[in-house]
Structure 1
Amino acid sequence: MSSSKFRDLSAGTKSLIVIEQILFAGALLSAVHLNELYNIVDFQLVPDGFLLLYAVIFGLLNQLSALALGLYNSKLRESFRGIFRRMLMCVSVAFFVATIINPLYGKNILPIELLAIASSISVFLVSSFRYFTFKVDFFGFGKRNILVMGSGERASIIERRMRRDVDRQDFTVHGFIVMEGDSPDGIQRETRLKIDDTLVNYALAHNIDEIVVANDERRNNLPVDELFACKIRGIEITEILDFIERETGQIAVNLIYPSWVIYSNGFASNNHLRNTLDWIFNAIMALCLLAVVWPIMLITMLLIKITEGVHAPVFYKQERVGLDGEPFEIIKFRSMRLDAEKNGAQMASENDNRITKIGNYLRKYRIDELPQIWNVLHGDMGFVGPRPERPQFVQGLIKNLPYYNERHNVKPGLTGWAQLKYPYGATEADSLEKLKYDLYYIKHRSFLLDLLILIRTVEIVLFGKGR
């Protein structure tokens, strides 16, 4: 996560990260201290400086595992039981990795038993802390107090799309200022304001942290001088598109205007080194993945043959649209009946009766996507990017959805930002929602974002959230 992204986090989220790092590191130090008191395991004592470094690394391993399992997702909708289950898996994965790198410490190696004790203490400490924060809204204190300038159609996206508490964990809406030219069909349920005082005085009097500019009519209708006065007094001024992008991880396609695209950062990849090494990086990852999952692929092939018949095809090829709109053939494990498209091409839907019994499991755990390792090695796809669609659907989507063709400016991927944020898509409306996330990915595309997506994909696979 870049420093600018970290600054955008609420004080509560930052506190959660820092406190849990201390708890994880403290668990290892506590295990060593308990061992000194009760002599549980015999081992050569290590220098304090090295022990502290080991504790920090142990904490980082646990936090990376927690990130992969969605425990730092601010919009995670889980009961405490679900969080505790994830915490157990998080600590187990971190313990496994810690035992692998443990021999690298040479003479300062820590006994496996001590790492196991530290992991057990971690579960107790962090789960207790999470339980407290789950019952008491401890991390709500860092919310930004925002004032929205506008109450029409553009402003109403906040009311419509961010109406739940989980969507507003990092901010509270003070109100929506009624501006000249705003659509009367905009804000319906939330507070509409008419300000008699100057904007800067009102904002200072009500402790406004941020003003979101979202009025429908911009021409000769923005109080530029007052916005400037707010800015120099430390009040953040944000355009509605940037606000939606920051808070939801998507770009509001229906609000985009060409000048915003032209002047905004992103959308163009000028990292020539990345582009040059892209295939090498993806090919190495594909070979590593193949070395791990080939037994799963072999078992899948056998199960398809057993359930569908010896002569039933295992693989399924389908034409998709790739980089620069060029078609290519994607390869997957067959998860639908042989006559699935006897009536022509159609998108898969929820509870689709064309899906075979084994196909449901293949889709749920994304096993059907594994043969696409070949597409990655061939250079048609990368590991991360927008999911490629069929030509029959693409032409209609390009006509009906603005900026849809922009998703073909990057190589399609096995997984992507849209798959993490909006995993289901069977209609044109769903395609629009996924496009918002795809454009966000294209704008912010970087190695760190790719790494985050790959780590978060682990959560989808382990908890069977695929489709």
Structure 2
Amino acid sequence: MRILFFILDLLAFILITFIVVTLRYGVCHTYLFLPTIKTLAPAFMLCSVILWVFSFYDFSLIKMQRLDYRNTIIAFAISLLGSAFGIYFGASIFNMATPKLILISVFIIYFSYIYFTRKAYASLTFYRQKILLLGKSDTLKLIEKTLRKSRAYKLLGRFETPQEAQKISPDNVDLIIMGSKMLQETENAWAVISTKFLNKGVLLTTDYNFHEELFKCSSKGSLKDNIWILRGVASRQQEHFYPVIKRAMDIIFCLILTPVLLPLGIVTYFMIKWVDGVSPFFFQERIGKNEQNIFIYKFRTMKPGTEEITKTGNILRRFRLDEIPQLINIFKGDISIVGPRPIWNDEYYFLNKYLPCHNIRSIIKPGLTGWAQLNFKAPPTYCVQENLKNMEHIPDSTFDSAKTRLCYDIWYIKNRSFFLDVEIMFKTAKRAFIKDKKFD
């Protein structure tokens, strides 16, 4: 779907440029059009990257009506300013044309096209996948709630047993989503499903699998199924090139950013020292890969020995300036750019006691940013709360936020790749300056 829309966007960009050039000059010869499209080609690529960062190619989000005019305007402004700077900077070097009015006109029309095509995709449904839910898990209830709001699916209903669904014709079903425990809990469930539906060509998946596809996050219910989690994590083929590429990307990232962030780090250092009157650096012992202890370097944002934010703390956290010293950790290889965030030792071992599969977070190198950080607010630390440590029975709801973080981390571990890492890096950079609406 992404490739198809990218091709359509490219054709639309070319057509819009052709129309604008024709209207601008009253006629469009190749000697007018070709230099213009050649000049605007890098601008189109920049637009495509920015649109990708702003999720205009994430069609699962688009289907759930997550995009609005605010994202379009911000993406338009960044693309226009970046393209104008690149074109006028390159004009002096490569003797390029500088189409001022044409550039603005093309961008206004192109981003209008982007906005309305995505809105149309979210609103118009040419085909709705017909889905039948079987079972009674909490994961199925969440899927049911989401499908009823989505225009991409037609929910035929949810039945607790296959016997109750026998009145549904298999000709009207595209996909069955089955509770992962149903075959164990319901007698003759497989016989009914296979005879009634599978033999007629209906596809079958489980609630855990569909949850990951729909939300890009493992379900909380799946955390209790150790075999399912471990099978999903261990099913990845042995990686030969990805770790090498990831480490090379870490080093290149540091080499590029160090000249930029070093002056900013020096200013931050003296600002903390003079304004807050405290030691600018502090070190936290955390859990790294394979449960090895590592020390994370950060700029101080809280007063020593307290939970009180310093005068500069909120600014440093808002723009993630307190993370600058962690470039040292990346150089050392303690952490990567992307991965599950390393957590405190006490918190890690405390949560291991109460969250199934929590220690899976440590099978890969932790990161400066991660999938969970993009999609969910960081949960509070429970290990420092002495009243929890001394309780004989802790309510399961206490760990809801930690479970959600773990579900996103597990999804990343199962699906990690070079392109996913790049996406997380770009979106993290965006988040530093532009706050997503869902986090407001």
CA shift, 1:51, in A, is 7.0
Partner in structure 1 of residue 182 of structure 2? 217
* Alpha-carbon spacing, 1:154–1:64, altered in 2? closer, same or farther (3 Å): closer
- Counterparts of residues 282-301 of structure 1 (less than 5 Å): 282-301=250-269
What is the alpha-carbon distance in structure 2 between the residues aligned to residue 76 and residue 440 of structure 1?
23
Match in the other structure for 2:272: 304
Out of 127, 130, 135, the position equivalent to 1:145 is 130
Per-residue CA distance 1:415-441 (angstroms, 9 max, x = gap): 111111113311532111011010111
The CA deviation string for residues 146-195 of structure 1, in whole angstroms up to 9 with x for no partner, is 211123445223246x3784xx3543422102217xxxxxxxxxxxx933
Residue 26 of structure 1 aligns with an amino acid whose one-letter code is L
Residue in 1 that maps onto 2:99: 113
How many pairs were matched up? 414
Cα distance in 2 for partners of 1:409, 1:251 equals 17
CA displacement 1:110-168 (0-9 Å, x = unmatched): 41335x733542223322552575489534444422211123445223246x3784xx3
Distance 1:129 1:276 in 2: 37
Q: What is the match of residue 460 of structure 1?
A: 431
State TM-score, norm by structure 2. 0.81
- 1:381 aligned to 2:349? no
Deviations 1:35-79 (A, max 9, x none): 54389xxx993785x876776654333111111233344257454
1:89 to partner: Cα distance: 2.1
Residue 413 of structure 1 corresponds to which residue in structure 2?
367
Of 109, 125, 130, the match for 1:124: 109
Aligned counterparts, 1:172-321, within 5 A: 172-179=154-161, 194-197=164-167, 202-204=169-171, 206=172, 208-214=173-179, 216-219=181-184, 220-224=187-191, 226-227=193-194, 230-231=197-198, 235-256=202-223, 257-261=225-229, 263-264=231-232, 268=236, 270-309=238-277, 312-321=278-287
Is the CA contact 2:139–2:219 (under 8 Å) kept in the aligned structure 1? no
- 2: CA distance, partners of 1:97 / 1:444: 35
Deviation at 1:295, TM superposition (A): 3.4
Matches within 5 A, 1:67-146: 67-73=52-58, 74=61, 77=66, 79-96=68-85, 110-113=96-99, 117-127=102-112, 130-131=115-116, 134=119, 137-146=122-131
Secondary structure of the residue that 2:238 maps to in structure 1?
Answer: coil
User: CA, structure 1 residues 136+111, in 2 after alignment: closer, same or farther (shift >3 Å)?
Assistant: same
Show the counterpart of 2:289.
Answer: 323
8 Å CA contact 1:27–1:119 kept in 2: the answer is no
Equivalent AA in structure 1 for residue 178 of structure 2: V
2-side partners of 1:94 and 1:234: how far apart?
A: 50
Distance 2:120 2:243 in 1: 47
In 2, are the aligned partners of 1:267 and 1:444 still within 8 Å (CA)? no
- 1:148 alignment partner AA: L
Q: 1:155 is paired with a residue of what secondary structure? A: helix
Looking at structure 2, the residues matched to 91 and 224 of structure 1 have their Cα atoms a distance apart, in angstroms, of 60
In structure 2, distance between residues paired with 1:196 and 1:232: 14
Q: More relative contact order in 1 or in 2 (CA 8 Å, sep 6+)?
A: 1
Whole-Å separation in 1 of the counterparts to 2:219 and 2:414: 13
C-alpha deviations, 1:270-316, integer Å up to 9, x for none? Answer: 2223324543321111111222233332332233234213xx21122
Q: Show CA shifts across 1:176-224 (max 9, x none).
A: 02217xxxxxxxxxxxx93343x5xx131x3x33211126431354335
- 1:246 alignment partner AA: E
On the 8 A contact 2:47/2:79 being kept in 1, the answer is: yes
Instruction: Judge conservation of contact 2:372–2:405 (CA < 8 Å) in 1.
Output: yes
Aligned partner of 1:23 in structure 2 is 12
Q: Which residue of 2 aligns with 1:186?
A: none
Contact preservation (8 Å) 1:241, 1:252: yes
> One-letter code of the match for 1:242?
N
Structure 1 residues 110 and 338, CA gap change in structure 2 (3 angstroms): same
| 1:372 to partner: Cα distance | 0.6
- Kept in 1, the 8 Å contact 2:166–2:196? The answer is no
CA contact (8 A) 1:23 1:126 kept: no
**Structure 2 unaligned spans of 5+:** 382-398
Q: Pick from 299, 313, 320: which aligns with 1:333?
A: 299
What is the root-mean-square deviation of aligned Cα atoms in Å? Answer: 3.6
Amino acid of the structure 1 residue aligned with 2:217: Q
Query: Is residue 436 of structure 1 aligned with residue 407 of structure 2?
Result: yes
- Greater shift after overlay, 426-435 or 387-396? 426-435
**Residues in 1 aligned to 2:202 and 2:82: alpha-carbon distance in whole angstroms:** 43
- 1:187 is aligned to none
Distance verdict in 2 for CA 1:231–1:299, change over 3 Å: farther
Q: For 1:384-433, what per-residue CA distance to the aligned partner results, in whole angstroms no more than 9, with x for missing partners?
A: 00000000100111111111101101101111111111133115321110
Amino acid at match of 1:147: L
Distance 1:90 1:425, change over 3 A: farther
Letter in structure 2 aligned against 1:23: A
Unaligned runs of 5+ residues in structure 1 are: 1-5, 7-12, 181-192, 342-353
Q: What is residue 188 of structure 1 aligned with on the other side?
A: none
TM-score (norm 1): 0.76
356 and 152 in structure 1: CA distance in 2 versus 1, 3 angstrom threshold: same
Residues 134, 158 of structure 1: alpha-carbon distance in 2 compared, 3 angstrom cutoff: same
Letter in 1 for 2:242: R
What letter is aligned with 2:284? Q
Residues 149, 211 of structure 1: 8 Å contact kept: yes
Give the superposition deviation at 1:317. Answer: 1.1
58-67 vs 323-332, which moves further: 58-67
Query: In structure 1, the residue corresponding to 2:99 is in which secondary structure?
Result: helix
Q: Percent identity?
A: 24
Matches within 5 A, 1:385-404: 385-404=339-358
Partner AA of 1:273 in structure 2: F
Deviates more, 1:291-300 or 1:315-324: 291-300
Per-residue deviation, 1:268? 4.4
Contact residue 72 and residue 111 of structure 2 kept, 8 A: no
> Is the Cα–Cα contact under 8 Å of residues 336 and 359 in structure 1 kept in the other structure?
yes
